[in-house]
Structure 1
Amino acid sequence: MQDDPVDYDERFASGTGVNGAECVIERTWLLLPTGRVVATDPLGGRYDDLPAPFVQVVPPGRYRVDLLVMDGLIAAARLCVRDESAASWEEALPANLCDGGDAAAAGYDVNAGAGCFTDEETFRRLAEVSGSGWQLTLLEDLAWMRDGPTVIPRSEVDGSSGDEGDENVLVAFPSGEGDGTYRTLVGRTRGGEIACFVTDFLPHDA
């Protein structure tokens, strides 16, 4: 575990970014059918080599996603698991790194200017969908939505309808100033429970 110099709880609570810059918070919801969280570039990857989920697993359920928007850019994205402050922080490590990979390489590469939170099962099923309709939807939405989320509903994955089909199973967002490698951190409560996942898109001292 590590203590992170950035107080993400304060940033998201106060709407304050680096160097005291004023921020706004955009919120939406995400359904995690298995609780195996994936953070990745939803448009720039190879679907014959899917990103591994994080070793930190949460109960299946519906969770809030907060976006910290600073100067029209997404500064950070947070997947909220519990409405409790984080007492400590650790790297969110994909399972393949823990199985012998290089932990120093933690973080995901962005090649299409976007990041996302989703579930391992959802991303695998989206990769199996014939055609690229869901990718085109994300690409079109992200082209004009530079300071907010765009989502893929469950109906795009399994054809469900009604309220269940409207549940968001992937939440995407522009990645700060664009392409790069971005790490995701896990915040834990004093009792050791997972409070949140945070992907940081801007330098701490920018």
Structure 2
Amino acid sequence: MVYKINPEFLLFNDGEKRTMPEESEIFCEKIGEIELPSGQIVACDPFIGMEEEPFTKQVTSGKYPVLLNIIRYKNEDERIAFAIIKFNENKVNTWEMALQHGQGIDELEDDEFFGYGVDSGTGSFMDKKTLNTLLAYEEERQNENSDYYIYLEFEDEFDKTYKDTRSWLVTTIKEKASISMFSSGWGDGSYPSFWGLDENGDVACLVTDFLITD
């Protein structure tokens, strides 16, 4: 059976908390709202993975809350377990792996998944239009200065939420392109995303699973 998200500890309401094994807890924090002008969502490492394609499933364009599920361990270490875009209040009935064009579930073997690679310790959500804006802006700046690194645009925002093991932001590029970034669980790796579907098969949420509670 292919890898499936474990929804046991998923939280969808800001401020919600739940006790976990080994004297740890998981809590939900709303970090902002993201604009999705085209409804085509890209999940990627925003510093090394901006060639990622959007998921095949498309949502209604609009502005939606971004939630993080954060595990706090006994030693006060905090790790982001799930990143969520919440589209409505509908209860999730089934989970479906988020795929890009050319990917098929039947290609996967036991415990395998399609996901995006992380090499900077950071994941993100953004609209396809935002990705195009970000790529064009990065190219423009690199033409001006070959040493330019896109992370510098976000460093101050990351510092506002920084702890040793996690940080996050929701911000805009070029005053219009909305993006959400967040530390990726234990760090670098490959991470899947899942659509949460309601009883009618409509999208209720999108979740990136950082493989901490699997």
TM-score by length of 2: 0.77
Deviation at 1:84, TM superposition (A): 1.2
Q: Equivalents in 2 of 1:124, 1:110: separation in Å?
A: 19
Q: Deviations over 1:7-43 (max 9, x none)?
A: 355x334422653732332211000010001111001
- 1:35-114 counterparts in 2 under 5 A? 35-45=39-49, 50-71=51-72, 72-97=78-103, 104-114=112-122
The one-letter amino acid paired with 1:173 is F
Deviation at 1:181, TM superposition (A): 0.6
Aligned to 2:168: 149
The one-letter amino acid paired with 1:145 is Y
1:150 is paired with a residue whose SS is strand
Aligned to 1:187: 196
Aligned to 1:21: 24
Q: Equivalents in 2 of 1:87, 1:22: separation in Å?
A: 25
- Range with bigger deviation, 65-74 or 13-22: 13-22
Deviation at 1:5, TM superposition (A): 3.7
Q: Deviations over 1:112-169 (max 9, x none)?
A: 000001001110111011125753123454466244421331xx23xx5xxxx5xx71
Q: 1:110 to 1:133 in 2, by over 3 A?
A: closer
Instruction: State, as a whole percentage, how many aligned pairs show the same letter.
Output: 28
Deviation at 1:188, TM superposition (A): 0.1
Aligned to 1:125: 133
For the Cα contact (< 8 Å) 1:53–1:94, is it kept in 2? yes
Deviation at 1:102, TM superposition (A): 5.1
Q: 1:169 to 1:40 in 2, by over 3 A?
A: same
The one-letter amino acid paired with 1:191 is N
TM-score by length of 1: 0.80
The one-letter amino acid paired with 2:189 is G
For the Cα contact (< 8 Å) 2:20–2:26, is it kept in 1? no
2:70 is paired with a residue whose SS is strand
* Larger Rg computed on CA atoms: 2
- 1:164-203 counterparts in 2 under 5 A? 165=176, 169-203=178-212
The one-letter amino acid paired with 1:152 is T
Greater strand share, 1 or 2? 2
Q: Which runs of 5+ in 2 are unaligned?
A: 73-77, 142-147
Q: Which runs of 5+ in 1 are unaligned?
A: none
Superposed CA RMSD in Å reads: 2.8
Q: Deviations over 1:168-198 (max 9, x none)?
A: 7100001011101111011000011000001
Deviation at 1:97, TM superposition (A): 2.1
Q: Deviations over 1:83-131 (max 9, x none)?
A: 1110000100012425x99555511100000000100111011101112
Q: Which of the residues 132, 135, 153 maps onto 1:137?
A: 153
The one-letter amino acid paired with 2:169 is T
For the Cα contact (< 8 Å) 2:37–2:62, is it kept in 1? yes
Q: 1:2 to 1:55 in 2, by over 3 A?
A: same
Greater helix share, 1 or 2? 1
